[in-house]
């Protein structure tokens, strides 16, 4: 699979960009590793040691995520960029067609931050479900 492949749902390049913020688990959440993402979030990437080791593990995490989360109408990468940088405003939810919860996130700061954490845990599944409900 090359960098331009349509079957690639979670790119290595975006994983490395999220890795920069990896001491809070961003890249691990992106690749669907919820438990270790949470551990990285609360321990600063296992005190930066695990964060550094992940520099070498990202290509394999990307391959696993590509196999686990198939591509579809809604792009995982767009969803994750929107969540990471505009998540408290619910922009990722608007993108997925979730207008009601998008408005709730917009006016409540993602339910005072709790919704943002919830979406870190569930965004891959939300995109997968949206792709199942509305394929291309």
Question: Can you tell me the distance from the alpha carbon of 54 to that of 11, in angstroms, rounded to the nearest whole number?
Answer: 15
- Kindly report, residue by residue over 114-136, the tens digit of the pLDDT: 999 999 999 999 999 999 998 77
- Kindly report, residue by residue over 39-48, the tens digit of the pLDDT: 999 999 999 9
pTM of the full predicted structure?
A: 0.90
Q: In 10 A of CB 134, how many CB atoms?
A: 12
Q: Is the dihedral of CA 37, 42, 44, 47 positive or negative?
A: negative
DSSP 89: G
Question: Can you tell me the distance from the alpha carbon of 18 to that of 101, in angstroms, rounded to the nearest whole number?
Answer: 25
- Kindly report, residue by residue over 26-41, the tens digit of the pLDDT: 999 999 999 999 999 9
Pick the closest to residue 119 from 133, 135, 95, 134 (CA basis): 95
């Amino acid at each position: 699979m090359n960098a331009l492949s349509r079957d690639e749902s979670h790119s290595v390049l975006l994983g490395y960009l999220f890795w920069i913020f990896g001491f809070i688990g961003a890249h691990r959440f992106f690749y669907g590793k919820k438990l270790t993402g949470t551990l990285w979030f609360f321990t600063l990437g296992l005190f930066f040691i695990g964060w550094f080791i992940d520099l070498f593990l990202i290509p394999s995490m990307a391959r696993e995520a590509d196999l686990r989360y198939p591509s579809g109408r809604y792009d995982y990468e767009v969803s994750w960029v929107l969540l990471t940088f505009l998540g408290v405003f619910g922009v990722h939810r608007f993108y997925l067609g979730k207008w009601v919860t998008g408005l709730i996130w917009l006016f409540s700061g993602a339910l005072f931050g709790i919704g943002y954490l919830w979406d870190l845990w569930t965004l891959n599944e939300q995109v997968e479900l949206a792709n199942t409900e509305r394929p291309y």
